[in-house]
Amino acid sequence: MPRLRFVGTRLASLVGLLWFLSLVLFLLQEVSGADPVAATIGGNAPPEAVAAARERLGLNDPAVHRYLAFLGGLVTGDLGTSFRTRRPVTEDVLTHLPATVELVLVAFAAALLLGVLFAVSSMLRWPLSGVFRGVLFVGSTAPTFMLGIVGIVVFYKLLGWLPASGRGGVEGGPTGLRVLDSLLAGDLPAAGDALQHVALPALALAVGPALSIGRVLRSSLTDTLRSDHVRTATSKGLTEAQVLGRHVLRNSLNAALSMSALQLGFMFGGVLLVEGVFTWGGVGSYLGASLPVSDFPAIAGVTFVLGGLYVVVNTVADVLQSVADPRISVS
């Protein structure tokens, strides 16, 4: 019963946060000064056409009615029509979203791997582990876009190891995720090409979150190492690596899982700059092209989708943690 109440509370918070996000976006649209009529029929249209367009777009309705229409569109998946592309924003977002999702997933996997290596190497004191942790720390202090630029200069310009732009792999696959689509097509060279293209932007996006995850995991590992059951395992003659793998790591994951969920949500925000540096072609590039022309439906649509993904990811993480550790739902 406490667990169901906890899940219900989290789902209610999810709905409340999405509603608040919709309200903020509507208010920003109201004060932005963007003219949907001019964007739709042109700034030199005759007054009669302007009046007809305002009536058709519902701009003469009270603000409450306009907000309810806006909210209804979000609920039904109608994000409006882009002023720039003249297409439904939902279609534009669905076209560009797979590229962003692929980049974030690869970056998240890299961040988890680097974070675990950071924490475990601190405990086991591997050779050159101090150099690895130092490089990760220095990299995390730099802005994400700067890491991308440095990566292009070093790994593309100087060494020629990795491509600097584009996605590679099989185009037009069923998922839109180039690496996965290439594997589904059985084209291993194309999958390797897609991995090469995603490597640089994913690493640029992963460095900062990796340090945050690694620090939290290292702190949890340190606390667990001081517990009585770990001392007992050590007294039985187990090596440090065996104690860490069998008794410490599993009991230290809760805090790291929470931090990982937060960082995954942050990645969907940081990916916008990375896509611009690497000409990635995801929703970040779509948003970047929409901002200079004040394409507010596109801006609001991308913001709502990314904000919604952030909220959903953290809600799912909370629910999964309550399943793994009943003490969370009780508290």
Residue spans per domain, the chain: 94-293
pLDDT at residue 108, as a whole number = 92
DSSP per residue, 151-211: HIIIIIIIS--S-SS---S-SS-SSS-HHHHHHHTT-HHHHHHHHHHHHHHHHHHHHHHHH
To the nearest whole number, what is the mean pLDDT of the chain? 80
Residue 126 CA: distances (Å) to CA of 121, 133, 139, 207, 210: 6, 11, 20, 20, 18
4 has a pLDDT exceeding 80:
no
Band (pLDDT 50/70/90 cuts) for residue 72 is confident
Residue 82: pLDDT band by 50, 70, 90 thresholds? confident
pLDDT at residue 173 tops 70: yes
Task: Name the CATH architecture for the domain at 94-293.
Answer: Orthogonal Bundle (1.10)
Contacts (Cβ under 8 Å, ≥6 apart) of 237:
none
Please check the confidence at residue 329 and state whether its pLDDT lies above 60. Answer: no
pLDDT of residue 249: 63
Looking at the chain, the whole-number percentage of residues with pLDDT higher than 70 is 77
Distance CA 143, CA 302 (A): 22
User: Who wins on pLDDT, 39 or 114?
Assistant: 114
Confidence at residue 66, expressed as pLDDT on a 0 to 100 scale: 82
pLDDT digits (tens, 9 = 90+) for 42-56: 556 666 666 776 666
pTM: 0.79
Is pLDDT above 90 for 106? yes
Contact 9, 307 (CB under 8 A): no
Query: In the prediction, which pLDDT does 234 show?
Result: 61
User: In which band, very low, low, confident or very high, does the pLDDT at 266 lie, cut at 50, 70 and 90?
Assistant: confident
